[in-house]
Chains A and B, each alone.
Chain A
Amino acid sequence: MEVVYALATGILAGAGVWLLLRPRTFQVLMGLTLFSYATNLFIFGMGRLAVHRVPMIDGGAASVDPALYADPVPQALTLTAIVIGFATTALFLVVLLALRGLTGTDHVDGREPEA
């Protein structure tokens, strides 16, 4: 499971970085999105990968073994990061469209490079 997870995160991050370096605004947007997916997966992975464990500790139990539970903090962090990332992506999309409308090109420099 760890290998698959690490590969997925790495491929997302790599694809994101590659797209970020492209000259078209939509490619940059996709790059930012993929990179933020990789980041979110990474945060989640920092809470250690575990199956069949709940993040909530039963308050009534006399003694609690933390090893039986998942760490809830990275999950909360990921959730926050997703929300913030979604908002900023939406904003980026608007600016992207505005630039397209104002300059008539989707190049990040606002003009086509001279061939």
Chain B
Amino acid sequence: MNAILRHLIVLPVVVPLVAGAVMFFVPEARRTARVALAAASMLMQLAVAAGLVYLTSDAAPFIWPEGVGVYAIGGWPAPFGIVLVVDRLSAVMLTLGAVVALSTLAYSVARWDKPGQPFHSLFQFMTMGLNGAFLTGDLFNLFVFFEILLAASYGLLLRGGGALRVKLSLHYITVNLIASALFLLGVALIYGVAGTLNMADLSGRAAALAAGDRALLDAGAAILVIAFLTKAASWPLNFWLPGAYSVALAPVAAAFAMMTKVGFYALLRLGTLTQEYETLYGALLYIGLATLASGMIGMLASIHLARAIAYSVLVSMGILLAALGLRIEALTTSILFYLIISVLTTCTFFMLSGMTDRTRVTDPADAAPDSVAEQAPTGYSAYGIKQPSTYASGEDVGIAIPAARAFLGMGFVCCVLLVSGLPPLPGFIAKFALLATVLRSPSVHDAPVSTWIVCAALVLSGFVSIIALSRIGMRLFWSPAARTTPRLRLLEATPIAALILLCAGLAVAADPVTRYLERAARSLHHPDTYIHAVLSRDTRREQARGRKP
């Protein structure tokens, strides 16, 4: 039994890979088969991720006593072969990714997966890249998984066509290709100096380097961090995000909720494994604050809902980076909790915005404020380009849910509460935990100014979110009677309701979740167990035994 459970680690990569590849061979006409395959793959990933959370927790110490599981692909021992490593943080991120992927899949099936393009395959490959990035213990492998994830995301972003979408996709692809080249430069420099690509091994070798080599390693790490910060959409490397996210189809944008967090995960993982980059973290504080400011200004300036949500992604990234930049160890738990909430919120909100877009205005005189065309200077009209078409065809089949307008309104209110951090939903708990931990930590006395600035910015961001979103909400729901209420289908409404309920559940169960995250944070800040588990002889022996049954 244990021997089988050990192989769970590789499943989050293998399952979507196989499912995505098999889908190419399912004929277009057999849509049910494709959807069933996609759903089965997502459900399996969710089950595996939940299993990994359970196995890495204290409840199941019989397999990985330290909560770190190592899987050597190909059976080669750690510093030479490529390993997948699951620890508590990876398990949490995998589960989060699976939840987001499953709900966006259900949402997309309702109306967005028109035949002709390999939507479901791309979607599977994107989750494969995400899962792999969370699991890998090897720097170059991280690059490869990033590329898989990004390549799939290019295809997903382009869906729907239209000049504006293609233009912004081109910008997105360009920025990401440059970031990938920087990523490679950083990895190569680190390999040239330290002679290893294994993250755990690197941690030990970095400490033993001579001073001259050390400077080169730092340069490599800095280049790597620039690449991560680009993916994490930190200012000033984030101008691609609002445009790309707001023109993406609703389910695609919702699935992208996880993407910026991969960059943040990589920062957190490498930053805690090699704990000597004090100046780098100090810079993160200011970068985070600048990101936060750019997000807030953007939110206030946006008229269209999807654009405001895209900027709220920047706000959440800013908060995460600034909190990480404070270098308070006890804060990591709250950071992780906030990350979970913000991912779920963004995902729900993008799905909801896909529905409110369909509240069409019948009165032409009233059409102006709502149409996207008005948002100068980056709106559609500014370029003299026609609006991209979302293929919301007229045929609305399937079970429509009653009280669609009430559902949209309630969903919107819940999302606003989550984004701005108001009770009773857990956005409040997440922000409150951040503030409480910052104020309780001793660094309030050491570095009072930066700490207070972060606290003030945190509170201000909530305030700004309320202003910006309630203005949009008033226009969407209260203004004219001329709006038509869209027919909502059960299948697209369910994931939104489910995610909001999940958030509410997280508020109720905040205690056990926080305790698990606390353990995750502690093992992050004491990487010895991680390093030991990856490089230990036990792993090698076990693998050797596996090879010769």
Contacts and interface: CB of A to CB of B under 8 A. Distances in A.
Contacts, number: 93
B169 interface: yes
Contact of A84 (B147, B173, B174): B147
Interface residues of A, number: 33
Interface string B172-191: 01100110110011011101
Contacts of B385: 103, 110-111
Contact of A39 (B166, B171, B184): B184
A36 B167 contact: no
Given A102-B166, A110-B385, A88 B184 contact: no
B157 to A, nearest CB: 10
Contact of A77 (B163, B166, B170, B188): B188
B contacts with A: majority SS: helix
B175 to A, nearest CB: 10
Contacts of B162: 102
Nearest to A97: B166
Nearest to B197: A73
Contact of A42 (B173, B185, B197): B185
A97 B189 CA distance: 35
B302 to A, nearest CB: 20
A74 interface: yes
Nearest to B158: A95
Given A35-B178, A95-B173, A73 B191 contact: yes
A70 interface: no
A87 B147 CA distance: 10
Contact of A95 (B169, B192, B383): B169
B154 A43 contact: no
Interface string B131-167: 0000000001000100100010010001001111011
14 contacts: A36-B181, A39-B188, A43-B184, A43-B188, A46-B188, A77-B187, A77-B188, A84-B180, A88-B151, A88-B173, A88-B180, A92-B174, A108-B170, A110-B385
Interface of B: 140, 144, 147, 151, 154, 158, 161-164, 166-167, 169-171, 173-174, 177-178, 180-181, 184-185, 187-189, 191-192, 197, 383-385
Given A77-B191, A92-B170, A99-B163, 13 more contacts: A25-B170, A39-B185, A43-B188, A45-B192, A48-B192, A74-B188, A88-B151, A95-B169, A98-B166, A102-B161, A102-B166, A108-B171, A111-B383
Interface of A: 20, 25, 28, 32, 35-36, 39, 42-43, 45-48, 73-74, 77, 80-81, 84, 87-88, 91-92, 95-96, 98-99, 102-103, 108-111
